[in-house]
Amino acid sequence: MTILHAIILGIVEGLTEFLPISSTGHLILTANLLNLQPNQFLKSFEIIIQLGAILAVVFLYIKRILNNKSIFINLIYAFVPTAIIGFLFYKQIKIFLGHNIIVPIALILGGIIIIIVENNLAKKSINLHSNANLNKSVNKTESFMLGIIQTLAFIPGVSRSGAVIIGGLMRGLNRQDLVEFSFMLAIPTMLAATGYDLVKTGFSFSSNEWLLVLTGFITAFIVALLAIKSFLKFITTHSFTSFGWYRIIIGIVFLFILL
């Protein structure tokens, strides 16, 4: 891997982490296009630079989380099932990251689900512009359920934010609240994933590898700041259907490339 590769992967991570299109899936597919070998360092690199994108959320939402006890508690309830399953199946999850063929299949299936859910909501005339308060739409029970749904994202290509958002929509929760909740839920989820991965790898990176990680980390942070603000504006007037079609198209394209 070179510095240019690290920058490209950082841009991909920053752009895709908070969209329902799977950042992990896009990182794996991008690495494949760049002819990067799926070794242990690349797997750890893909996990660690996600923390750069997550720090963008910390930068934007930390005051809101700390000043609102209900949001803080809801995040804990949502994080618990993810932490338990992630800890118990760490080795299997890392193995999943090495199976590139899973990504396009998950992208396609996820895209179909998004389109079906949005079409059903459209038939019910669900208002895109509803602005219900986060604490009223996402309670402790719903938070725990969203945490369980989020574990589907351990499968590369599923999308953590997509699973939370679409799962929440299926449960009748407000879409704008869900998007912001998925942003905030990324903080404990990715902090734990990154920290645990670093402990398991024993921080055994060379000086050049640390430079690559830092480059990807900073790039992801800057790009994510811009992506979050743009995404929040987008969802006020659009559904997620376009993301569903995008997932299907890119999934088919990469399925042919990989095969």
- 90 or 37, which is more confident: 37
CB 158 within 8 A of CB 93: no
Task: Look at 38 and 94; give whichever has higher pLDDT.
Answer: 38
Contact present, 1 and 45 (Cβ < 8 Å): yes
- Of the pLDDT bands very low, low, confident and very high (cuts 50, 70, 90), residue 93 is low
Range with the lowest mean pLDDT among 67-76, 116-125, 209-218?
116-125
pLDDT band (50, 70, 90) for residue 27: confident
Say if CB 46 and CB 9 are below 8 A apart. Answer: yes
Domain count for the chain, please give it. 1
| CA–CA separation, 182 and 162 (whole Å) | 9
Cβ atoms of residues 51 and 17 within 8 Å:
no
Name which of 109-113, 136-140, 201-205 the model is least confident about.
201-205
Label residue 136 by pLDDT band (50, 70, 90): very low
Percent of the chain with pLDDT over 70: 88
How much is the pTM? Answer: 0.81
CB count, 10 Å around CB of 39? 11
* Predicted local confidence at residue 133, as pLDDT: 39
Type of residue at 35:
N
Residue span of the structural domain in which 251 resides: 3-258
* In the predicted structure, residue 201 carries a pLDDT above the cut 80: no
Query: Which residues lie below 8 Å from residue 247, measured CB to CB, with a gap of 6+?
Result: 20, 21, 22, 107, 108, 110, 111, 114
What is the per-residue pLDDT for 91?
66
pLDDT of residue 23 exceeding 50: yes
